[in-house]
Amino acid sequence: MIPVRGFEGATVAVLGLGRSGLTAARALRAGGATVLTWDDGTSGRDTAQAEGFEVRDLTRPGAFDGVVTLVTSPGIPHLYPAPHPVIRAAWDAGVAVDNDIGLFFRSLDHAAPRTVCVTGSNGKSTTSALLHHILTSTGKTAYLAGNIGRGVLDLDMPGEDDIVILELSSYQTELARSLTPDICVFTNLSPDHLDRHAGLGGYFAAKRRLFAEGGPDRAVIGVDEDEGRFLANQLQEAPVDDRVIRVSTGKLTGPGWLVTVKKGWLSEHRKGRQVASVDLRDIPGLPGRHNHQNACAAWGAARALGLGPRDIEAGLRTYPGLPHRSQLIATRDGVTYVNDSKATNVDAAAQALQAFKSIRWICGGLQKDGGLEGLHPHLGNVARAYVIGREAEAFALALGPGVETEICTDMATAVARAYTDAQPGDTVLLAPAAASFDQYDSFERRGEDFATQVAALT
């Protein structure tokens, strides 16, 4: 555990007692702070009380008397669509609001490790895990934390030769009061979490803050969207500026540091010269264009950390993939079953639909803002869509007339129908294009249910 610095003898309140909240409370106590805790649910409060923390209802008048900082969990709204009542109370009391990421950066000692922060709409987890795999395969000591792996304050204090890779959501980058990463990665941007940021501009601003206020030594920027181009341009100071590494899945030219992929071939260019290339098409852990983009981002970060092309390529080829992200579940009678439950938005699902041919597509769930129109150009490979979720009929209608649909509602029915219909060469793909919370408590549980249903049949 990393003891939180700067609060010895002070009183700090923690709101939200899930994984990150409880870890923050323990780390604050280890650093000498007096910790007050609160959660809207009784189970979190009971857990904190069992660990010896004082539980105080932070919504009551005077609850913030003597408190210097409130540490909140990422899932709790702090501005849009409306601030949590405890956040408002902290504002009114003049109490600073922070999160565990801010506490992490303020608590690193003089022998600080190098830190790589990865953000974006899609591909954050794969890029982070892939970079971690590449580093550890070369014998380096690297830690994976944040939204993936362990809670960041649950790590032992890393040494100066170590590397910490943090996957960060917009919820985390927007609120952290201290951000001092060495390298930042921006994968891409597509509409997501718009209610939490009052629209796409607020969503991008939350991610941009990691670069604008973090001041990284190097930035790896996906430039396939205008927001990425804007960000890269803001960070560079000359046409040739090695502090910015541009990443693209399309044609990219110029004198700067570029990592691109075209028809499955990754290429690195510096000062107008190609310095490395790798064929990604036969790497089983990185199927499809979207994973090739992730490979480019991880390549750029690894190069910024000083690794050579051969070591990076070796790591790419041994990468096993992540659960629920284009995860191969089974192959039987010529039919492949793939779990991409992490495809919780339209852009991620569109990428998955482009990675396979002749798809039996399991989709549906809690729709996000923006509708499903972005999927329409990518439905050509779909033989039939098997729609799940409480609003399966509305989801199927939103797909339009371009794809044959079947209302299944639940996962067991969808998998059984896809299994019956599938022919050799087909891929049964779970890529929901929606959140899971209408039927599951997480995308992981949804993916696990898919895998269980497939195993029962195959």
* Structural domain containing residue 442: 327-457
Name the pairing type of β-strands 257-262 and 265-270: antiparallel
pLDDT band at 89 (very low <50, low <70, confident <90, very high): very high
Two tokens, residue 16: 């939200």
Which whole number is the average pLDDT over 254-259?
93
Q: Are 8 and 64 in contact (CB under 8 A)?
A: no
In whole angstroms, give the CA distance from residue 278 to residue 18: 41
pLDDT at 330 over 90: yes
- Binding site for ATP, by residue number, is 120-126
The answer to whether position 248 is within a domain reads yes
Scored b (16 or more CB within 10 A) or e, 213-240 reads ebebebbbbbbbbebbeebbeebbeeee
149: left (phi over 0), alpha (psi -120 to 50) or beta: left
At residue 47, does pLDDT exceed 80? Answer: yes
Residue 3 per-residue DSSP state: P
pLDDT tens-place string over residues 387-434: 999 999 999 999 999 899 999 999 999 999 999 999 999 999 999 999
Question: Using an 8 Å Cβ cutoff, are 326 and 287 in contact?
Answer: yes
How far is residue 250 from each of residues 114, 298, 381, 407, 436, measured CA to CA in Å?
30, 17, 21, 37, 32
262, 269 Cβ separation under 8 angstroms? no
Half-sphere exposure of 120 (CA within 13 A, CB side): 31
Residue 108 in domain:
yes
Residue 169 lies in a domain: yes
* Helices and strands in the chain, H and E counts: 15, 20
CB 364 within 8 A of CB 434: yes
Average pLDDT over residues 8-17: 97
Share of the chain above pLDDT 90, in %: 85
The residues with which 96 forms a beta bridge, in sequence order, are 69
pLDDT at 267: 97
Same domain, 252 and 300: yes
Q: Is pLDDT above 80 for 110?
A: no
Tell which residue, 434, 431, 429, has the closest CA to residue 344. Answer: 434
How much is the average pLDDT of 238-251?
92
List, edge to edge, every strand of the sheet that includes 405-409.
Answer: 327-332, 335-339, 427-430, 359-363, 382-388, 405-409
- Would 269 be classed as within a structural domain? yes
Query: In the numeric block, which tokens belong to residue 325?
Result: 């992200």
Alpha helices, DSSP H, located in 59-187: 85-92, 100-107, 124-137, 170-175
Using alpha carbons, select from 69, 162, 146, 149 the residue that is nearest to residue 112: 162
> Which domain-ending residue is among 268, 284, 317?
317
Binding residue positions:
120-126
Residue 243 has pLDDT above 90, yes or no: yes
Q: How confident is the model at residue 288 (pLDDT cuts 50, 70, 90)?
A: confident
Residue 445: what pLDDT? 96
Q: How many domains does the chain have?
A: 3
213-232 mean pLDDT: 96
Alpha helices, DSSP H, located in 402-442: 411-421
SS3 389: coil
Q: Give residue 320's pLDDT.
A: 85
Q: What is the CATH number of the domain that holds 276?
A: 3.40.1190.10
Report residue 368's pLDDT band, with 50, 70 and 90 as the boundaries. Answer: confident
Crossing angle for the helix pair 100-107 and 19-30, to the nearest 10 degrees: 30
- Each residue of 297-327: pLDDT tens digit? 999 999 999 999 999 999 999 998 888 988 8
- Specify whether 193 is located in the same domain as 293: yes
Residues in CB range of 47: below 8 A, 6 or more apart: 17, 22
The more confident residue out of 21 and 112 is 21
Instruction: Give kind and range of the element (H or E) at residue 194.
Output: helix 194-197
CATH of residue 84's domain is 3.40.50.720
In this structure, the answer to whether residues 158 and 140 fall within a common structural domain is yes
Mean pLDDT taken over the chain: 94
Question: At 49, is the pLDDT very low, low, confident or very high (cuts 50, 70, 90)?
Answer: very high
**pLDDT (average), residues 41-56:** 96
Q: Which residues contact 425 (CB under 8 A, 6 or more apart)?
A: 334, 335, 357, 358
Do 252 and 260 meet the contact criterion of CB atoms below 8 Å apart? Answer: yes
Q: Are 132 and 184 contained in the same domain?
A: yes
- Cα pseudo-dihedral 129, 132, 136, 141, rounded to 10: -140
Give this prediction's pTM. 0.84
* Domain contains 1: no
What's the pLDDT at 193? 82
**Coil, strand or helix: which one is 30?**
helix
When pLDDT is averaged across residues 323-338 and rounded to a whole number, the result is: 92
- Give the DSSP H or E segment for 112: none
Q: At which of 72, 98, 124 does a domain end?
A: 98
**Rg of the chain's alpha carbons, rounded to an integer?**
23
* Helix (H) or strand (E) run with residue 26 in it: helix 19-30
Residue 91 and residue 121 in one domain = no
Instruction: Show which of 271, 298, 317 is a domain's final residue.
Output: 317
Q: What pLDDT sits at residue 240? A: 87
Q: What confidence score (pLDDT) does residue 194 get? A: 85
Are residues 92 and 108 part of one domain? no
Q: Element (H or E) spanning 10, and its range?
A: none
pLDDT at 98 over 90: yes
Residues 149 and 247 in one domain: yes
CB 168 within 8 A of CB 193: no
Kindly indicate the confidence band of residue 211, based on its pLDDT and cuts at 50, 70 and 90: very high
pLDDT (average), residues 257-267: 96
What confidence score (pLDDT) does residue 369 get?
Answer: 79
Mean pLDDT of 234-247: 93
Whole-number pLDDT of residue 30: 97
Considering the domain architecture, whether residues 212 and 283 belong to the same structural domain is answered as: yes
The set of residues, in sequence order, having a beta carbon less than 8 Å from that of 316 and lying 6+ positions away, is 130, 134, 278, 280, 283, 286, 295, 298, 299
Length of the chain, in residues: 458
